[in-house]
A = this chain, B = another copy of it.
Amino acid sequence: MTRERLYIYDTTLRDGQQTQGVQFSTHEKVQIAQALDALGVDYIEGGWPGANPTDSAFFEAAPRMRAKLTAFGMTKRAGRSAANDEVLAAVLNAGTGTVCLVGKAHDFHVTDALGITLEENVENIRASIAHVVAQGREALFDAEHFFDGYRDNPDYALATCRAAIEAGARWVVLCDTNGGALPADVGRIVAEVIAAGIPGDRLGIHCHNDTENAVACSLAAIDAGVRQVQGTLNGLGERCGNANLTSLIPTLLLKEPYASRLETGVTLDALAGITRISRMLDDILNRVPMKQAAYVGASAFAHKAGLHASAILKNPSTYEHVPPERVGNERIIPMSNQAGQSNLRRRLADAGLEVERGDPALGRILERVKAREDAGYAYDSAQASFELLAREELGLMPDFFDVERYRVISERRRNARGNVVVESEAVVTVQLRDGTKRTGYFKNDHPQEAQDDGPVNALWQALKTDLGPYQAAIDDIRLTDYKVRITNGGTEAVTRVIIDFEDGQGRAWSTVGVSPNIVDASFEALNDAIRWKLVRDAAQAVAGTALGL
């Protein structure tokens, strides 16, 4: 069977930039465009030249791409010719081979928002599209508010689309601008549009997520016959966002009926990069990636329920609708008090600890994890602390050093010049395996310029000041995130601290500490981080000779 071609149109750089709080730099736009091009989308809408300075700059800086770079704008205004509309001229001046113009398809918006006649609006669409085509460009017409308009006045909504097609538009894009259409409406209306004579291979769909149905509305339109689908990476966009291409593309490539019937410009090889692209965008936006995101989220293939986890170990297809590697993601079987022994063995194997089925240490580890989770610990998010606990029960945890004492002081006072200063200092004493003691001291004495003048940082600096033979191994550890929550430990409120770390080898790990005292909880997590680094370095050194294991 020949597969029909479905075109993917990305508007991350235009509609995605309408997200509250999002403003891409030109450099970031270039980076995103290159990633989209490598992924294999067909069109990249770069922005509205003339309306937004960074959009204009992007079109000047845009790299050569396989994808069709597209400039966005609006149809000419009434009372002037297309050639004399300077807003439209600015769009054409970006020099892109493809131009997308938005215009009204809902009679109420024409008369109420634009304040022109229905005929003038149709003429604006016709003349604008004809002008773009006359310049040798590929033209798209974005039929704004199409679905609301079609419900109120189907003949008029269709007339705007026909005007664009007759003027030479390659595509008419049916836009659910307010995001209120539901999938069943979209499917029915698209079918009626096609029945009314506009073929599906000239129709696109542009949905918003205001009812959490943008992906489903897009699929319903494809089911009904449209052959262009618009969306954004990670579902960025005005209000609740646009249709999420990061969800749509894997569905179109991996799932039926789409995989057998439709062909896109995205290869299966490129699809395996989509998780990385999604995370890159979050990085650019300085956002925490959404763990529960379909396909690309860190939790998308995490199996927490005990029943699920044990079945997954037998056969991943029991609880996975697609294999995670197809989208460049990973399976996770987190530790939690719902997990069983098979889950545990798998988790230990991931940490390089092969334990025989039936080893009594497994039961002890599970019991200790359960008791600690009841006390407020959370090992799902702190694999390194879990590994240390398991190593202790398995007799595989060297006793690198003991903490004798620590003391941390935070103070707010007025200095000699009468200014308020906030300072922290800490002292930590440890006893090494050879019985010698080492004391580290740290004082934050540049409070004015300090980025982190708190007690936890002071403790961390003091702890890693002098650990004798281990010093070289820990110098490159860096704190990357610090999370605190008040939780229940038994019946009392306790503080749980989770800290993320990285080292010079690019390893990342997380530890957990729990105490009624936030400083003590933090110290526990800091201490675990150093112990984990030391034991992992020891495991790397063959037979552990480097650290005397």
Contact = CB atoms under 8 A, between A and B. Distances in A.
Contacts of A251: 182, 211
A286 interface: yes
A523 B214 CA distance: 42
Interface string A269-291: 00000000000000000101011
A23 to B, nearest CB: 6
B484 A485 contact: yes
Interface stretch (A62-70, A128-136, A318-326): A318-326
A416 to B, nearest CB: 14
A537 interface: no
A232 B158 CA distance: 40
Contact of A209 (B112, B292, B452, B487): B292
Which residue, of A21, A183, A237, A247, has the highest number of chain B Cβ atoms within 10 A?
A21
A159 interface: no
B241 A292 contact: yes
B455 A455 contact: yes
B413 A410 contact: no
A213 B207 CA distance: 14
Nearest to A497: B484
A299 B235 CA distance: 13
Interface stretch (A3-11, A390-398, A513-521): A513-521
A211 B215 CA distance: 8
Interface string A203-223: 000000111110111011001
Interface string A418-430: 0000101000000
A52 B292 CA distance: 23
A453 B184 contact: no
A338 interface: yes
Interface residues of A, number: 122
Contacts of A320: 178
Contacts of A21: 291, 378, 380-381
A454 B21 CA distance: 27
Which residue, of A239, A315, A484, A492, has the highest number of chain B Cβ atoms within 10 A?
A239
B219 A182 contact: yes
B294 A209 contact: yes
B483 A485 contact: yes
Nearest to A235: B292
Given A338-B52, A405-B412, A378 B23 contact: yes
A109 interface: yes
Nearest to A307: B74
Contact of A297 (B240, B486, B488): B240
Given A320-B178, A407-B409, A519-B454, A299 B240 contact: yes
Nearest to A517: B454
Contacts of A515: 422, 454
Nearest to A74: B307
A215 B212 CA distance: 7
A412 to B, nearest CB: 5
A305 interface: yes
Contacts of A414: 404-405
Contacts of A315: 112-113
Nearest to A298: B20
Interface string A22-62: 01011110000000000000000000000111000000000
A19 B304 contact: yes
Contacts of A454: 495, 515-520
Interface stretch (A77-85, A194-202, A329-337, A353-361): A329-337
Contacts of A217: 216
A110 to B, nearest CB: 12
A454 to B, nearest CB: 4
A56 to B, nearest CB: 12
Contact of A422 (B109, B179, B404, B520): B520
B518 A518 contact: yes
A452 B211 CA distance: 41
Which residue, of A237, A299, A378, A486, has the highest number of chain B Cβ atoms within 10 A?
A299
Nearest to A332: B20
Interface of A: 18-21, 23, 25-28, 51-53, 74, 109, 112-113, 177-180, 182-184, 209-213, 215-217, 219-220, 223, 235, 237-241, 244, 247, 250-251, 255, 286, 288, 290-295, 297-308, 311, 314-315, 318-322, 332, 334, 336-338, 373-374, 378, 380-381, 403-414, 422, 424, 450-456, 481-488, 492-493, 495, 515-520, 523
A-B pairs, 3 with minimum CB distance: A180-B321, A216-B216, A25-B488
28 contacts: A19-B292, A19-B299, A19-B304, A21-B380, A21-B381, A23-B336, A23-B337, A27-B488, A53-B374, A112-B318, A113-B315, A113-B318, A178-B321, A179-B321, A183-B219, A211-B250, A212-B216, A238-B308, A239-B301, A241-B292, A288-B288, A405-B412, A406-B411, A407-B411, A454-B516, A455-B455, A456-B518, A484-B484
